[in-house]
Structure 1
Amino acid sequence: MFMRPIYLLPLMLVSFSLFARSGCKEENNKSAKLMEESTKLKITVGSSIFAATLYNNASATAFKAQLPMTIEMSELNDNEKFFALPENLPTNASNPGTIQAGDIMLYGNSTLVLFYKSFPTSYNYTRLGKIANPSGLAAALGSGGVTVTFEID
């Protein structure tokens, strides 16, 4: 009599696990769809042009409203370029765990950051966008300050 509930418990756990995973897959598909509907961006560094996509969030929308912009970005930590934007943007910062080369992020509420190397991080950032193919980005940006143009493509 007590044996039946014990046999049902593993079955219930497996069923719940499958149900939970199907929800994650659906959420991932929604995220991918948002990326497809997002704004395309052109980033120019010297004679190099990089295609990027802005995320579909309030921060990226506010950033987009400031475009086009040509700015002088400064070097930091041999892995990123940064620029203090003239206006604060809305934030939704979180720790990405790992920064990927080509990530375009906001540090605080007004520091635009363009990463050209991948590395683990403990800092919080708001995601703005991503360069589709960052190969050649580090070479184009160089080791010091650099002029970068962001515009809608």
Structure 2
Amino acid sequence: MKKFLCLSSILVTSFGLAACSNNNSSAADRDHNTRIKLTFNDKEVLIRMYDNPASMAFLAQLPLTITFEDYIGKEKISILQKRLSADDVETGDPSKKGDFAYYAPWGNIAIFYKGFEDATNDLIILGQIESGKENVENIHGDFTVTIEKVTK
């Protein structure tokens, strides 16, 4: 009987810890099957979106045509007409090269073509570039982008 009670308490504790740990998964663990395509200057960038509320809200706004500009030599940014909700989304990870993100205080999306060392609690990673990183790195000045979901 003691063995049964001990085993039962271990199982309950294990399930409880597993449930808590699911809330702390990183954005990279939440890949989604949805991809978007950014088209500009006869170039393309494909991004795999993550499965979080901000990403889903962004996808609901597509298709979009917006203008990007360079910001601090590390990212291309564009202010969205309609802000995304930052509620219930994990933030605080430093960006890395290829991240497609949303910066809540300014209401802008960003494509990081270089990593950013400092973490911020206001940056939400929406997805990761799968192909075409070099197209973002090699463009200078403002550029207009059409963003649409990729159909399978």
Q: TM-score, normalised by structure 2?
A: 0.71
2:132 maps to 1:118: no
Query: Over aligned residue pairs, what C-alpha RMSD do you find?
Result: 2.8
**Paired residue type of 2:148:** E
Shift of the 95–136 alpha-carbon distance from structure 1 to 2, 3 Å rule, reads: same
Long gaps (5+) in structure 2: 1-13
Aligned to 2:101: 105
2:131 maps to 1:133: yes
Long gaps (5+) in structure 1: 1-18
| Cα separation, 2, equivalents of 1:63 and 1:117 | 22
**8 Å Cα contact 1:116-1:134 kept in structure 2:** no
Aligned to 1:4: none
**8 Å Cα contact 1:76-1:82 kept in structure 2:** yes
**Paired residue type of 2:51:** N
2:82 maps to 1:84: no
**8 Å Cα contact 2:45-2:133 kept in structure 1:** no
Which of residues 53, 61, 70 in structure 2 aligns to 1:75? 70
The DSSP-based 3-state class of the residue aligned with 2:119 is: coil
Q: Which has the higher helix share?
A: 1
Aligned to 1:13: none
| Cα separation, 1, equivalents of 2:137 and 2:114 | 11
| Cα separation, 2, equivalents of 1:95 and 1:40 | 24
| Cα separation, 2, equivalents of 1:55 and 1:79 | 21
2:54 maps to 1:56: no
**8 Å Cα contact 1:102-1:133 kept in structure 2:** no
Shift of the 74–135 alpha-carbon distance from structure 1 to 2, 3 Å rule, reads: closer
Shift of 1:119: 3.1
**8 Å Cα contact 1:95-1:121 kept in structure 2:** no
| Cα separation, 2, equivalents of 1:74 and 1:135 | 16
| Cα separation, 2, equivalents of 1:45 and 1:129 | 19
**8 Å Cα contact 1:101-1:134 kept in structure 2:** no
Larger radius of gyration: 1
Aligned to 1:149: 146
Q: Deviations over 1:123-144 (max 9, x none)?
A: 230111111134413444x232
**Paired residue type of 1:148:** V
| Cα separation, 2, equivalents of 1:138 and 1:50 | 8
Q: Deviations over 1:28-55 (max 9, x none)?
A: 7xx65x41x4311111121111111111
